[in-house]
A = this chain, B = another copy of it.
């Protein structure tokens, strides 16, 4: 498929800090709201997650919304709140770049650059991330085959950055009773042919908090390397993707159950 396949080889361990690393003994739980809506929402959610032992906090500041008349995210102000989360709770920050206009701002703030599903083909982000010192999580596009996805990821590797995580978050199919179709078959292929850690995102696939827990448990038993899940201090008032956000209480219960399942595989949550 590619003349020079940097995505093949031995499994890549990624060490974020002394408390948190991706390896075959660990399992990363990334969590946080879809969007950084206000300083209060961010700090409240982060506090609860930090108490639970979560080390990687997620929140989007530049939202690639489908509706041009909808709220477009908190932008650079949101990034400041995320910076505060890092300082106050010692958490690592992952946040999404949606196009080149916000790349520099996000890259300089975060610990992990997230390339969103809709930006998979944006070479400016892929090459920029490839030249960055930060880790990168690249979501599979919902219209991308596994083969095509791995070729886009290869742009980052070919530009020098090996700290790359894959992320399956659902593909678009004829089935519309859920937001997307969670492709664990494709995820199995990814694990089979690449060395890169695989983080699964059941929140966007399901689009409905009712189903997120079941899919998250399935993902843990599937033996991926971590989960990224949307959690909100008050889902009913979320400005974005409210249907799929777990409450803090739901997430705590999920955390416990994931922990039990992965311990069967000799892994522990970090």
Chain A interfacial positions (CB closer than 8 Å to B): 2-4, 64, 66-69, 98-101, 118-119, 121-125, 141-148, 151-152, 154-155, 158, 170-178, 180-186, 188-189, 191-192, 205-206, 210-211, 214-215, 217-223, 257, 260-261, 264
Contact = CB atoms under 8 A, between A and B. Distances in A.
Copies of chain A in the complex: 4
Given A188-B206, A189-B178, A99 B123 contact: yes
B222 A69 contact: no
B184 A184 contact: yes
A145 B181 CA distance: 12
Contact of A100 (B101, B185, B192, B264): B101
A221 B223 contact: no
A100 B103 CA distance: 11
Nearest to A206: B185
7 contacts: A98-B121, A118-B121, A146-B177, A172-B174, A188-B210, A214-B222, A257-B264
Given A143-B143, A177-B146, A185-B215, A158 B68 contact: yes
Contact of A123 (B64, B151, B189): B64
A260 B265 CA distance: 11
